[in-house]
């Protein structure tokens, strides 16, 4: 026998499938400080500025390549013109004394 009450049908959440069962935790200030301290211990105080500069250059080159800005687009430098006096001076430097 069926009761006269209403029956509710519950459908599962429709959305993009989630491959991971849990969400990734947020990284806070404490975790960032811990990573910086670990980097300081691993690489030392002298090498950290060098690493930062090289990472900055790499990111700048990546940004320029993505945006389409290229150094080849800039006009090339004109070659240095040599005159007869500079050629003669170079030849005198090569002559044995």
Run of H or E including 67:
helix 47-67
pLDDT at 21: 74
- Specify the pLDDT at position 85: 61
- Taking only the tens place, the pLDDT of each residue in 41-83 is 998 988 988 998 999 999 999 999 998 876 555 555 656 665 5
Q: How far is CA 46 from CA 32, 53, 55, 68, in A?
A: 20, 12, 15, 35
SS3 state at 30? helix
What's phi and psi for 21, nearest 5 deg?
-70, -30
């Amino acid at each position: 026998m069926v009761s006269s009450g209403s029956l509710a049908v519950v459908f599962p959440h429709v959305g993009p499938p989630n491959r991971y069962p849990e969400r990734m935790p947020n990284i806070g200030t404490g975790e960032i400080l811990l990573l910086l301290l670990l980097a300081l211990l691993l690489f030392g105080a002298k090498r950290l500025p060098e690493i930062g500069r090289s990472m900055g250059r790499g990111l700048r080159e990546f940004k320029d390549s993505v945006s389409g800005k290229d150094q080849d687009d800039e006009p090339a430098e004109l070659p240095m013109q040599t005159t007869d006096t500079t050629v003669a001076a170079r030849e005198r430097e090569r002559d044995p004394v």
